[in-house]
Amino acid sequence: MARRELNVFSLSFLDAMTCGLGAVILLFVVINASVEQRANEITADRRAEVDRLQDEVLDGFQNLVELRNSVREVVDLLVTARGLAARVIEDIEDVEEELAPYENTTIARKEHLNKLKADLKSLEEAAKRLSGGPPKEETPGDRLRSFVGDGDRQYLTGLKVGGARIFILVDASASMLGKHVVNIIRRRNLADEQKVRAGKWQQAVATVDWLTSQIPRSSRFQIYTFNTSSSPVVAGTDGQWLDGGDRELLERAMKGLRQVVPADGTSLYNGLAAVLSMQPPPDNLILLVDGLPTQGEKPPRGRTVTGEQRMKLFAQAVRKLPTRIPVNVILFPMEGDPMASSAFWKLAIGHGGAFLSPSEDWP
């Protein structure tokens, strides 16, 4: 009888091996799933932190690009500003060279004028001695102060410096430094002692000097300057009427006005607010200006103001001014403000006052 051949790879053996391999694979799948889940749980916070840091890095790169662009713009502006500054300095030097001969001439004229005044005083004293009358401390008439102009002419016509309470309001904004915008910009960057010597401002100061010489002794007065705000020329007299018969007060007022340096914008609203705050109110308002206002009660939002906006600011400023207060306007016109003359003329006529625009050699 033949022996039966033995086959190690029988069906039962293969089944056992397959089941074992399947069990191993199943165990690996179960273990791998639990490991991946555990790893995700452990690294979730780390991955969130990494994402956050990546976002911050991206934001940092964007900010860095913006900063670099800003730096380039600032460098360009700096270069432009340096160029403009150099041009302005050259223009100032040219103007100073042109003005040097005139300053020498002005000094000589002042010395000559002082000599003439001294000679005139000597002649007056000699005339008094010859007439036999004793010298008096006060000049005859109703005026405490005198004013000597450059010439023999009629100074003003139609302007009455009278009333029980006289309020003089003077524009002291930067535009009072000149008649042309270019000159105003140049002088705005000069020292204060040079600003106060501007011809237009000196004419305004001389006009107030003439007005104070016309104030009756029985009247009371007040002098304010205004730009973006308003203040009295005599410190500590806010809202107070001063004695027009006090020579010392008149001199103090003029001294205070000569120390004012024109600067900033023009708020007619705040200037007239000082007039309305006086109690009792004035019965004669004399307004010295050079153009329409550039702001109202508060500074404007933008950097430029159109002509139409300036007319609205003017109307807003004069709206609350009572018509019973006479308004006299002395206008020192400037370049680029054609509507100012008609606007202030209507204001003066509507309030029963006078409108004047003096010549350059007045007073």
Which ranges in 159-237 belong to alpha helices (H)?
Answer: 181-188, 192-195, 199-212
pLDDT at 130: 61
d(CA 10, CA 5): 12
6: left (phi > 0), else alpha (psi -120 to 50), else beta?
beta
Domain 144-356 has CATH 3.40.50.410: yes
* Separation of CA 305 from chain center: 12
261-to-173, 196, 233, 288 alpha-carbon distances in Å: 9, 6, 12, 16
d(CA 213, CA 155): 13
d(CA 185, CA 158): 35
Residue type, 276: L
**Best CA proximity match to 334, nearest among 348, 324, 344:** 344
pLDDT at 137: 44
pLDDT at 290: 94
d(CA 41, CA 33): 12
pLDDT in tens, 178-219: 988 888 888 888 999 999 999 999 999 999 999 999 999 999
One DSSP character per residue, 249-304 reads HHHHHHHHHHT----S---HHHHHHHHHT-SSPPSEEEEEESS--S--SS--SSS-
Structure tokens at 12: 């039962």
Sites in the chain below the pLDDT cut of 50: 133-141, 151-155
| 0.85 surpassed by pTM | no
pLDDT at 31: 77
d(CA 345, CA 2): 146
Domain boundaries, the chain: 13-134, 144-356
One DSSP character per residue, 137-157 reads SS-SSS-S-----SSSS---S
